[in-house]
Amino acid sequence: MESQTSKSQAIDLAPLRAVLEEKFRPRDSQEAQELIVMACQEAQALYGWVPPEAAQCIADHLGTTINRVYGLLTFYADFRTTPPGEHFLWLCGGAACYVMGAPKLIELLREQYQLTDHGVSPDGKLTLHIFNGCLGVCDLAPVIQVDHHHYWGHLTPEKLRDALETLRADGVAEEQTHGATE
Amino acid sequence: MERLSSRQAFDEYVAREQARWESLWNGDQWVVSVGISECSIAKGAEETYRHLSLILAQEGIPHVLRRVGCAGWCFAEPYVEVRVPGAPPIVYAQITTERVPELVHALRQGNLKPEWALGVRGEQGFDGIPPLHAHPFLAKQRRLLFADAGVIDPESISDYIARGGYQALRKALFEMTPEEVVAEVKAANLRGRGGAGFPAGIKWESGRRTQAWPKYVVVNSHEGEFNVYKDRRLLESNPHLVLEGLIIGCYALETPYGYNYIGGEHALALKRFQHAVEEAYALGLLGDNILGTGFSCHVRVRTGGGAYICGEGSALMYAIMGYRGQPRTKPPRSVEEGLWKRPTVLNNTETFANVPGIIRNGGKWYASIGPENSPGTKLVTMQGPLVRLGVAEIEMGLSLRELIFDVYGGMREGYRFKGIQMGGVSSGPLREDELDVGVDFDSLDKAGVMLGSGGFVVFDDRICAVDFARFLVAFSRYESCAKCNPCRLGNPALLEILDRIRYGEGRPEDIDLIKETSKHIIELSLCGLGQVAPMPALGMLRAFPEEFEAHIREKRCPAGVCPIGEPAELAAASAD
């Protein structure tokens, strides 16, 4: 299962409260219910996961219960209810990436980095989400999005290992992604 | 931007923006447009944009630098379109940041760099460079929805209006009744582009018939199906086209409430559609008393949290309401009782994008495009080891073989075509000898597969049919909402059978077992996910029976992919 990181800091709820006050002002309870998932997404963006304190804060602000919030956090795959590692690897689990070799990447991550879906590596540096969907950049298949920003495309197990080692040494590996198709 | 409050104000605004657009393209400055969308950003388009900005300023070249959307030619990204005075706009392919200086200097010296050009934007070629529409990727396309993709700035409502945007809304508001709008959509025979292919006009009519208020009109932009990204690109390249369709839909249903439910992971699509909504409010095309007609429309954007099942209509509505997205039985249909138990009309992004064209040109015009029972154009995305990749817009009915080998260029060097997976996870594959079929709802249904939302995956002979079937069924198994037994229990069971076969523990009776299990899941599941989850397994079995036989009888995987012969940790494998 997932390994917890050893650092457990107190969560600073101030930024979350600020966003909720500013952008989440439902006019009625109907609208409030429509906003729960989006409030959780704000928390996820701020903290990298949705800590119980944040879930309670959201529940209080929108006039619902923490149970309702957890019902959503445990159903929707985007949410983490445990802290992430330092770097976020979003591996595309679509069919194009499968056909172009993603299974070998998943195998490498599992065997050499002890990383499974939603897991954190033992050294706390890497988090992996295998996205059961499509990142929409199929011509870079197989592809991983790193830290919500960089794309490692046309990966092979060797390229992935090189990129990961650079990342763990606290660099950022900008992989080649430019047209290999024509 | 002042708020327009009458038809006259709108017409005056249109005239002003058209004039601005004309002068942009006929002045003494370079007009440089960079395609910025999720796909091109991943390839360095932002760096290209910044470098261009620097160099054009440094060289003192009078210019306008614009950000446009994805035009579908992902194989040519990052792309830059340049219009230098005296020449038509020319699209250049694969202009990474390294190539920017050379391109700018060449153009400065009158060298149009034909070797880097994708084509000329115009009717004819120029100076030896052929027109875009002659490019093999584009030659067999018919771009109605994507006509302005890559041409307009998706974050500019004035660009959209200069190119004829919101004329359909104007016509609907001032020249048509809501019933007439529905009649046009019915006459067009616009079938839902989200996969089900249900006639939109009939759905809108049913929505009107239910006597309960308020009503809701919802755009389904969830797009959780993998290898389908056409809705994302639509929202990134021309969000106002979808918004206009939504507002017209609200007018037709006589309701002020519109929603767009966008998958949470589609960050740029979300941003651009939100921006489009804000611009529309600012200009007065959303809000109360639009253009003085008394019709009000308010649009809310809601995001998904990562659950494929939320693309299903009833689940989507539960998701919007802040519940776990689990589908329900029907009746009642959503047009009777949907969002917040009110009549709700839900259609796919692409379906709504077709509406403005239908209103402007008439339903009959639309119905005349493509086959009679499946008219219009379709956005398709095809991937795999092909020469060209991207989003194409084709007339319904184009031959699948032509789509693969002409539009997408066929297989890359060193790869041999084995099959093409149709309909995402909802259908089976077609072999090389089965490709002479039209790409439309009915022809593909007859061929035993499904058009779905238009995502195709070509695979070569390094792929094992059994392993691929396992992958596709696993997707549905994990996305199952777990509400009903046939799906929640049936899919893992099906997966176990496939895993046994992969590990070399298949038995001769497994073929019949697959068929029987699949039949139960399909016939007994509550919603569309369960009802199609086993289709890839059945499809692969139908198309590649020898491969299944080899695994079972000879304990051999012809493609060399499956862990046959390895110690079978089956329980772990199927639980993974």
CB of A143 less than 8 A from some CB of B: yes
Residue of B nearest to A137 (CA): B39
For residues B228 and B143, the answer to whether their CB atoms sit within 8 Å is no
**Mean predicted confidence (pLDDT) in B320-346:** 95
Cα separation values, A88 from A82, A174, B258, B345, Å:
13, 14, 35, 38
What average pLDDT does range B210-217 have in this prediction?
96
- Do residues B93 and B129 make contact, with C-beta atoms less than 8 angstroms apart? no
Band of pLDDT at residue A180, cut at 50, 70 and 90: very low
* The pLDDT of residue B566: 72
Contacts of B383 in chain A (CB under 8 A): 95-96, 99, 138-139, 141
Each residue's pLDDT tens digit, B65-121: 999 999 999 999 999 999 999 999 999 999 999 999 999 999 999 999 999 999 999
Q: What is the mean pLDDT of residues B296-324?
A: 96
- Residue B299, SS3? strand
Backbone conformation region of residue B561, classed left if phi is above 0, alpha if psi is from -120 to 50, else beta = alpha
Res A158: pLDDT:
95
**A39 against B569, higher pLDDT:** A39
Q: Is the pLDDT of residue A2 over 50?
A: no
Total-model pTM: 0.95
SS3 label, residue B415? coil
Mean predicted confidence (pLDDT) in B351-379: 97
pLDDT band, residue B573 (cuts 50/70/90): low
Q: With CA atoms as reference, report the closest residue to B434 among B423, B420, B445, B455.
A: B420
| pLDDT, mean over chain B | 95
By the 10 Å C-beta count (0-12 exposed, 13-18 middle, 19+ buried), B288 is classed as exposed
The fraction of chain B above a pLDDT of 70, given in percent, is 98
Probe site for chain B from A78, A81, A181 (most B CB atoms < 10 A) = A181
pLDDT of B383-417, one tens digit each? 999 999 999 999 999 999 999 999 999 999 999 99
Q: What is the pLDDT of residue A6?
A: 39
CB B143 within 8 A of CB B393: yes
Residue A177 reports pLDDT greater than 60? no
Q: Are B450 and B444 in contact (CB under 8 A)?
A: yes
Choose, out of B278, B457, B483, B561, the residue to mutate when testing the contact with A (most A CBs < 10 Å).
B457
- Interface size A-B, in CB pairs within 8 Å, comes to 158
- Distance between CA A56 and CA B12 in Å, rounded? 52
Q: Which residues pair with B456 in a beta bridge?
A: B382
CA closest to B474 among chain A residues: A132
**How do residues B29-63 score in pLDDT, each as one tens digit?**
999 999 999 999 999 999 999 999 999 999 999 99
What part of A 4-23 touches B (C-beta under 8 Å)? Answer: none
Cis upstream peptide for B131 (omega within 30°): no
- Gap between the Cα atoms of B45 and B56, Å rounded: 16
pLDDT in tens, B420-453: 999 989 999 999 999 999 999 999 999 999 999 9
- Provide the pLDDT for residue B1: 73
Short-list B240, B232, B235, B238, CA closest to B455: B232
Q: Name which of A34, A95, A137 is nearest B457 (Cβ-Cβ).
A: A95
Cα separation, A86 vs A48, whole angstroms? 9
Q: Which helix (H) or strand (E) is B122 found in, with range?
A: none
pLDDT in tens, B219-261: 999 999 999 999 999 999 999 999 999 999 999 999 999 999 9
Distance between A34 CA and the closest CA of chain B, angstroms: 5
Contacts 24+ apart (CB under 8 A), A148-153: A148/A88, A148/A90, A150/A174, A150/A175, A151/A175, A151/A177, A151/B42, A151/B43, A152/A177, A153/A177, A153/B42, A153/B43
pLDDT value, residue A4: 41
Q: In the prediction, which pLDDT does A178 show?
A: 46
**Does the pLDDT value for residue B272 go beyond 60?**
yes
- Name which of B75, B228, B379, B389 to mutate to probe chain A: the one with the most chain A Cβ atoms within 10 A of its Cβ: B389
Cβ atoms of B380 and B456 within 8 Å: the answer is: yes
Nearest CA in chain B to A93: B226
Interface of A with B in 57-96 (CB under 8 A): 64, 68, 71-72, 75-79, 93-96
Residue A170: predicted pLDDT: 74
Query: Residue A8 pLDDT more than 60?
Result: no
Cα separation of the two ends of chain A: 42
B570 pLDDT higher than 80: no
Both tokens assigned to A12: 């600073």
Q: Are residues B488 and B414 in contact, defined by beta-carbon separation less than 8 angstroms?
A: no
Chain position carrying tokens 């495309």: A153
What 8-state DSSP symbol labels residue B418?
A: E
* Interchain CB distance below 8 Å, A98 and B468: yes
